[in-house]
Amino acid sequence: MLEALNTASPAQNHDIQDENPELTKLYDAEPYTAYTEDLEFMWRWTIYRDNKLVQEGCSLTLDASKRAVNHVMAFFNMNNKNNTVAQEL
């Protein structure tokens, strides 16, 4: 079901969690949003940038999903800061 949302245009600013109430929001800071879903045998996590899927993965526990998403977001945020500094030079 989430895969169909990846084709949405950026103008369609809707909350993916509205489409699937079983999702748990892990991160929400423009332009990124991350969710996790309990599949009973694992937790699937997804990270969206402007409602487009940019990263996904799985973890064995909810806590591990939170750590994984935080790790990826730290990388994305560092990468964004480096790009901003490079553009200013």
3-state helix, strand, coil in the chain (%, to 5): 40, 30, 30
Residue 56 confidence class, pLDDT cut points 50, 70, 90: very high
* Residue-averaged pLDDT of the chain: 81
pLDDT of 46 strictly over 80? yes
Phi, psi angles (nearest 5°) of residue 80: -65, -40
Single pTM value for the model: 0.71
* Domain chopping of the chain, boundaries: 2-88
pLDDT in tens, 62-80: 999 999 999 999 999 887 7
pLDDT at 40 over 90: yes
